[in-house]
Amino acid sequence: MKKYLIESILIIGSVLLSLTINSFVEKKERLDQKNIILSELKTTIKDDLEQLKMVINVQKKCLESTELLIEDFFSEIKLSDKELAKNFSYLKQNGVISFFPQVGPYNRLLNTGGMELIKSDVLRSKLLTVYDNLNRRKEFGDRVLDDFGMDFARDLSPFINIVEKKLKKRDVVYLNAESTLDKISINKNYYKTELVKYYYSEYKYWIESFIDVYLNYNDLLNEVLDLIDLEKSL
């Protein structure tokens, strides 16, 4: 009887030890996978920050153009037709530029349960803020701005008729083509139309709003980079 009891204890102990080892190995594999995905996320964030830098610079130039066009509309001293057309053309081409963050690594963190293994509550919170809250807000704004940009081009182009000669290939990501104004025709009713003033004022509001969103993105992504390094060192 004693012999059987010892054998039973040994069998149970072996089973428990095997389960413990398997659990440990499984958890280690998940932790390794989490760290691999965090490394991938770090790489994509660095790429996103470069994209973001360019988008912010283009938007700031759009804001400068908008402010010049608004000032010109109300000023006694008007811009030359060429300067007016140049700023209008830049705004029409680039005003709807947007930032497209890469979400693949973040989605893999969610799908593999990697988020649950992140020890830092702050990192989890920042990831949710960037890829859920802020990204949804941006996507909604993108749709609104795209519609506004199409209305802007449709309604104001008859007042500023421009034929452009391209100097460089269009950048398919940033829509930042450089061009020379070949032919310009400014409608005589341009400065008498309230619609022109409305569109410039609205565009200024939207561009300022998006610059604020992108600067927030920039700060949060840099914070996430530091937190990823800290998480991987734990």
State the pLDDT at residue 125: 95
| pLDDT for 5 beyond 60 | no
> pLDDT band for position 75 (50/70/90)?
very high
Structure tokens given for 193: 């139309």
Structure tokens given for 194: 């309230």
Measuring CA to CA, how many Å separate 54 from each of 47, 146, 211, 233? 11, 19, 12, 32
Length of the chain in residues, anyone?
Answer: 234
State the pLDDT at residue 104: 93
Structure tokens given for 7: 């054998």
Q: Which residue has the higher pLDDT, 222 or 20?
A: 222
Structure tokens given for 186: 């400014």
Structure tokens given for 61: 């130039």
For the chain, the first-to-last Cα distance in angstroms comes to 49
Check the CA dihedral 100-152-63-160 and report its sign. Answer: positive
What are the structural domain ranges in the chain?
2-233
Q: What secondary structure, in 3-state letters, does 72-136 show?
A: HHHCCCCCCHHHHHHHHHHHHHHCCCCCCCCCHHHHHHHHCCHHHHCCCHHHHHHHHHHHHHHHH
> pLDDT band for position 85 (50/70/90)?
very high
